[in-house]
A and B are shown apart, each in its own frame.
Chain A
Amino acid sequence: MVYTQSPLAIGLFITFVCFVLGLSFYLARRTSSAEGYYAAGGNIHWFTNGIAFAGDYLSAASFLGICGMIATAGYDGWMYSIGYLAGWVVALFLVAEPMKRLGKYTFTDALDSKFNSKSIQLCAAISTLLVSVFYLIPQMVGAGVLVQPLLGLPHWVGVCIVGVVVTIIVATAGMASTTYVQFFKGALLLIMSTVVVISVLTRGLSTAPENNGQPYHDFKSMTATANLEISEPGYSVVAGLDSAFAEAGFVKLANDGKESIWQLNKTDDGYTLEETLYVTEMADGTKLFNGSAKEEGAFFPVGHVKELRMDGQEVAATGAVGPLAYLSALKDSTIVLWGKKYIMDGANKLTVYYQKPTPGSRVLRPGLKFKVDNATGTQTFNFVSLMLALFCGTAALPHILIRYYTVPSQAAARKSTIVAIAAIGFFYILTLFLGMGAMTNGVINLTDNNMSAPLLALSFGVVLFAVISSLAFATVLGTVSGLIVAASGAVAHDLMDNFLGMNMSDTAKVRAGKIAAIVVGCIAIYLGIVFEGMNVSFLVGWAFAVAASANLPAILMLLFWSKTTGKGIAASIIVGLFTSLGLILISPDMWVRYGLLPQDAPISFNSPALISIPASIIALVVVSLMTQKDVPIVASESAGA
């Protein structure tokens, strides 16, 4: 797709960046102590903190990734929303108040509160750093993806802008500025997403979707005889039934010297041919889109309803509908989804996108992305393992856990989590309508579905697109800020002050945190550039699996098993961290990234949580039982305490 830059979008983006920088410099004057820098003084109001939680949590993966996944895979994308939200139940019922009670600046403080153990300080700090960096990479890559349509700048410039702005935000005022930036961003994201959803419902469904005044491309259908004589005049066969194209279910035709690829569907007396979209990657790396350069705009946005039914009647458009009527009409209709196949055409690699008319009721239930229908044991294992990682990951993310130290009391920690559940739950309901709206409004860019939500907004006009795109960029800014605070806390507070015993003064601790933030920011910029083109959701999945495996068993066993020892916690973190990382590195998905065949990978599943979480718990239990003489004689945090 070809994007046109909007001066309004650029203006809004610059305004927002100036606003957050101004806020940071203002708050910096009040941030001289370590409490101020790492925990915003511990006096943030619970409602503000709750919305800031939402701002932290609704990262590029939620806003861009989930909407894009729903737009192309329906309900399976929404499963991420459900899993992410369920994770907050773990945070509220098990983690929120004890974390507030036990910790000071970082989650390492809470883990180490009973033990004063060097091994816990080192292991937990390493875990915080690794999880934060894994979470940082997709955010930075997301920034690079966004900056192209927004500002017309290359990927690396977007990564640098985010890196520099965020490092300034964090290095000036730490958690205070991060909290207020997250609060504004979280609130604006909820409001503007609601506006887009109301616009989607007001427009309703149609078989000929509007796209900001541009007509939807009319995908052609033709018939052919069994010998491939085409019904439409002017078309000639370039690669027919005896070619590699036909083996994959396609033929290549030419019309007026322009080549096109068509999907073959066998009928009783020949074939029907359906128009496809395709990307050609030539040996020298040049890419053509539908046979033309990208700038020619021949690669059309897609997404439409083929047969629209409402209240049992086939209609051309529904008009304005309520949310339940919208989903009900989708369920009764036939929606055109898009499949993808690869074909080698000489030295050229072709990616062919073809139409897959699918009943709406099938789209609105699981199974289009996850292999759950007639699944093998491994496929079921993969699915359950992913849902476990989503459920357990939230309450173990360092940048989420440190937000419990910004409020004044345990009750405030609890209440802010409830506000977060309400705000995030509401947003995740909106994602279903945003995703399904993109799926049926002709806005999906098949080569990059991450842009589905902003492009849906563009179909309602450039103003909404400008606001949504700036917000999407702000989403990245906010989440990266929180992650850099968490990572800098791990370096300055956990490693330098506690583990190395440098006994720094308050001022030195803040200075160390700021220097750490700058270093981590530079690393994030580098990784964001190196990982260009890598799937955002894939990397976020890593972060969740690693956090759930390394951190959550340690937190929960500390709270609920009185025989837990410091060495047991350290063992649990190390086993969880390296088991999950190791399994990811030898998974079939990684084998593809190494340029190898996925079936040659040593293991046949991609999601490690179902193995690495139990392994982490077993390590904790075994090592704790072996080191019982180390159990501290202090009041337990368990229920019976």
Chain B
Amino acid sequence: MGHGPAVKLGKDNAAAYKTKLGVSMFIVYTIVYAIFVGINATKPKAMENIVMGQTAAVLWGFGLIAFALVLAVIYNHLCTKAEVKFNS
């Protein structure tokens, strides 16, 4: 059968830790995204409120994009640390 990675991968002792961390961060982001969708679906006029000179909708949009990147960088940092700790 042709299954298995295309390149040989070493054993990753940090896999369980990384999976737990990924699930936790996914839940955090999903909650924030769900709140954003919920406000848009139920109280769209609230998104027209002006906050820091912009509509709340624009700030939410920038915020969600930036939040994804910030979480991603933190996730990578913690995963790299765990790989060094568990695999060395």
Query: Do A and B come together as binding partners?
Result: yes
* A residues apposed to B, CB below 8 Å: 34-35, 38-39, 41-43, 75, 78-79, 81-82, 85-86, 88-90, 92-94, 97-98, 100-105, 109, 112-113, 116, 324, 327-328, 331, 361-362, 364-367, 370, 372-373, 375, 380, 383-384, 387, 391, 405, 408-411, 414-415, 417-418, 421-422, 425, 428-429, 432, 493, 497-498, 559-560, 637-641
List the B residue with the shortest CB-CB distance to A497. B2
Beta-carbon contact of B79 and A411 below 8 Å: yes
Residue in contact with A97 in the complex, picked from B4, B15, B42, B56, CB distance below 8 Å:
B15
Cα A42 to Cα B8 with chains together (Å): 10
Interface size on B, residues (CB 8 A): 52
Cα A81 to Cα B41 with chains together (Å): 17
Q: Which chain B positions have C-beta within 8 A of A373?
A: 44-45
Beta-carbon contact of B26 and A93 below 8 Å: yes
CB distance from B86 to the nearest CB of A (A): 13
Q: Which chain A positions have C-beta within 8 A of B45?
A: 365, 373
Residue in contact with A105 in the complex, picked from B2, B47, B69, CB distance below 8 Å:
B2
Q: Which chain A positions have C-beta within 8 A of B7?
A: 35, 41-43, 408-409
Q: Which chain A positions have C-beta within 8 A of B5?
A: 42, 100-104, 405
CB distance from A155 to the nearest CB of B (A): 34
Cα A163 to Cα B84 with chains together (Å): 46
CB distance from B37 to the nearest CB of A (A): 5
Starting from the known contacts A86-B29, A383-B37, 14 additional A-B residue pairs (CB-CB under 8 Å) come to: A43-B7, A82-B36, A89-B29, A89-B68, A89-B71, A97-B22, A105-B2, A116-B1, A361-B50, A365-B45, A366-B47, A387-B40, A414-B76, A639-B16
Contact with A along B29-50 (1 / 0, CB 8 A): 1100100110011101101101
A82-B47 contact, Cβ under 8 Å, with A93-B23, A104-B2: no
Beta-carbon contact of B22 and A331 below 8 Å: no
Cα A98 to Cα B58 with chains together (Å): 34
Cα A92 to Cα B23 with chains together (Å): 10
Cα A365 to Cα B50 with chains together (Å): 11
CB distance from B57 to the nearest CB of A (A): 4
Cα A221 to Cα B80 with chains together (Å): 64
* B residues apposed to A, CB below 8 Å: 1-7, 9, 12, 15-16, 18-20, 22-23, 25-26, 29-30, 33, 36-37, 40-42, 44-45, 47-48, 50, 53-58, 61-62, 64-66, 68-69, 71-73, 75-76, 79-80, 83
Beta-carbon contact of A367 and B6 below 8 Å: no
A101-B15 contact, Cβ under 8 Å, with A85-B65, A425-B68: yes
CB distance from A385 to the nearest CB of B (A): 10
Q: Which chain B positions have C-beta within 8 A of A409?
A: 7, 9
A493-B23 contact, Cβ under 8 Å, with A42-B7, A365-B47, A428-B65: no
Cα A408 to Cα B55 with chains together (Å): 44
* Cross-chain pair count, CB within 8 angstroms: 182
Cα A573 to Cα B87 with chains together (Å): 36
Beta-carbon contact of A365 and B72 below 8 Å: no
Cα A32 to Cα B6 with chains together (Å): 14
Cα A507 to Cα B15 with chains together (Å): 34
CB distance from B25 to the nearest CB of A (A): 5
Cα A55 to Cα B8 with chains together (Å): 27
CB distance from A197 to the nearest CB of B (A): 14
Beta-carbon contact of B6 and A104 below 8 Å: yes
Q: Which chain A positions have C-beta within 8 A of B47?
A: 75, 365-366
A365-B68 contact, Cβ under 8 Å, with A42-B6, A43-B7, A92-B22: no
Beta-carbon contact of A109 and B33 below 8 Å: no
Beta-carbon contact of B26 and A90 below 8 Å: yes
Beta-carbon contact of B40 and A366 below 8 Å: yes
Beta-carbon contact of B41 and A383 below 8 Å: yes
Residue in contact with B40 in the complex, picked from A112, A383, A410, A498, CB distance below 8 Å:
A383
Q: Which chain A positions have C-beta within 8 A of B6?
A: 35, 38-39, 41-42, 104-105, 405
Cα A637 to Cα B29 with chains together (Å): 22
Beta-carbon contact of B23 and A97 below 8 Å: no
Q: Could you say which of A362, A391, A414, A493 has the most chain B C-beta atoms within 10 Å of its C-beta?
A: A414
Beta-carbon contact of A109 and B15 below 8 Å: no
List the B residue with the shortest CB-CB distance to A412. B7
14 A-B residue pairs with Cβ-Cβ distance under 8 Å, sorted by A, are A41-B6, A86-B64, A101-B5, A105-B2, A327-B58, A328-B54, A365-B48, A366-B44, A391-B33, A410-B12, A414-B76, A418-B72, A640-B16, A641-B15
List the A residue with the shortest CB-CB distance to B40. A366
Q: Which chain A positions have C-beta within 8 A of B37?
A: 383-384, 387
Cα A457 to Cα B69 with chains together (Å): 29
Cα A389 to Cα B48 with chains together (Å): 25
Beta-carbon contact of A362 and B48 below 8 Å: yes
A639-B23 contact, Cβ under 8 Å, with A366-B47, A411-B80, A421-B72: yes
Q: Which chain A positions have C-beta within 8 A of B20?
A: 639
Q: Could you say which of B16, B40, B42, B80 has the most chain A C-beta atoms within 10 Å of its C-beta?
A: B40
CB distance from B13 to the nearest CB of A (A): 11
Beta-carbon contact of B23 and A79 below 8 Å: no
Beta-carbon contact of B69 and A101 below 8 Å: no
Beta-carbon contact of A112 and B3 below 8 Å: yes
Beta-carbon contact of A86 and B68 below 8 Å: yes
Q: Could you say which of B4, B42, B72 has the most chain A C-beta atoms within 10 Å of its C-beta?
A: B72
List the B residue with the shortest CB-CB distance to A106. B2
Beta-carbon contact of B57 and A92 below 8 Å: no
CB distance from B68 to the nearest CB of A (A): 5
CB distance from A312 to the nearest CB of B (A): 12
Cα A483 to Cα B87 with chains together (Å): 36
- Nearest first, the 8 A-B pairs at minimum CB distance are A42-B7, A93-B22, A42-B6, A93-B26, A39-B6, A365-B57, A365-B47, A372-B44
CB distance from A597 to the nearest CB of B (A): 27
CB distance from B84 to the nearest CB of A (A): 10
Cα A328 to Cα B44 with chains together (Å): 19
A432-B61 contact, Cβ under 8 Å, with A366-B40, A409-B9: yes
Q: Which chain A positions have C-beta within 8 A of B30?
A: 89, 391
Q: Which chain A positions have C-beta within 8 A of B65?
A: 82, 85, 425, 428-429
Cα A82 to Cα B57 with chains together (Å): 11
Beta-carbon contact of B1 and A422 below 8 Å: no
